[in-house]
Amino acid sequence: MPIRIQNDLPVKEILERENLFVFDENRAAHQDIRPLEICILNLMPTKEETELQLLRMLSNTPLQLNITFMHMSSHQSTNVAASHLMQFYYTFEELKERRFDGLIITGAPVEKMEYEEVDYWPELCDIFAWSKTNVTSTFHLCWGAQAALYYHYGLPKQLLGKKLFGVYSHKVRHRKEPIVRGFDDYFLIPHSRYTEVPAKAIQGCKELKILAASEEAGILLCMSRDGRRFFIMGHPEYDRNTLRDEYNRDVRKGIPIEVPKNYFPDDDPTQKPLLQWRSHANNLYCNWINYYVYQATPYDLNEINEKPWRWEDKNKD
């Protein structure tokens, strides 16, 4: 899929070296096509690393995507140059009058804090509310998923006894839902978190449908029954070395941390990590873009509203 990004976005060179199809603004301007408008709200402190991970995931469908990055104006980022944010990111204030086919909200390293203690929580709530009427479908990741479940459905999170850290097996449920089309019965996805939304809370919410879960890691994937919100508790976008880098970081800081489970050969952190989740991660993003964004979004973005829809209803004929 051609991804349209700004001409001088630093990760563009890496994507091109990996032979991923990237459009710059100049080439896209000469094509007579209505690209899908995708906004990425990047809450991670390592902005460029997360940009690269998500753009890799979005590079595997035949659809053209126009990518817009958003950051929180109510939080001062310390791990990214201010010039990078100024050049490549927009604030919610700058984007709130726009409408998007799809929105991705990332995780954030604030999960041990109460939601209301997070400095940008009021602004994030405004974005959650805005997404109801200005976005066709929203993809929430890790802490972003927990926060959205709390905002939209009042589901609380709870602290785990220790960090859930590693690569875990998940079983597909409700195989007829297009979001899990092409999945094996069991598949692997990385997790890296200290909290969870209890399975009983999600199971008790009639507005949600559980699509994949693990005996060890709990619920991985659920969706609102109208298909407009997806909640992914893990990190399908992670690269081969992301868990290794997190492990080494914590070791250097003296933070008690176990070796990521099911990740290094023989649990030996000196060995090259196994990449075991890429195909299903790509499938997850492709299915979301195709069935819940492209197949459902209006040609005129001004027609997006909060009226429920079903993928099956859009394709009865």
Positions marked catalytic: 142, 235, 237
- For the chain, count helices (H), then strands (E): 11, 12
How many whole angstroms separate alpha carbon 47 and alpha carbon 244?
18
- Distance of alpha carbon 108 from alpha carbon 118, whole angstroms: 10
- Residue of 105, 110, 196, 104 lying closest to 155 (CA atoms): 196
CB atoms within 10 A of CB 219: 25
Residue appearing with tokens 């970081």:
249
Strands (E), 30-156: 36-41, 65-70, 89-90, 100-105, 135-141
C-alpha distances out from residue 307 to 131, 136, 167, 202, Å? 13, 10, 37, 23
* Separation in Å, CA 169 to CA 40, 194, 196, 220: 27, 18, 17, 10
Look up residue 285 and give its two tokens. Answer: 């993003």
Q: Which of these, 240, 206, 238, 203, lies nearest to 218 by C-alpha position?
A: 203
| Residue 160 phi, psi (nearest 5) | -80, 160
Which residue type sits at 242?
T
Residue 278's CB: how many other CB atoms inside 10 A? Answer: 15
Paired tokens of 233: 């508790």
CB 170 within 8 A of CB 213: yes
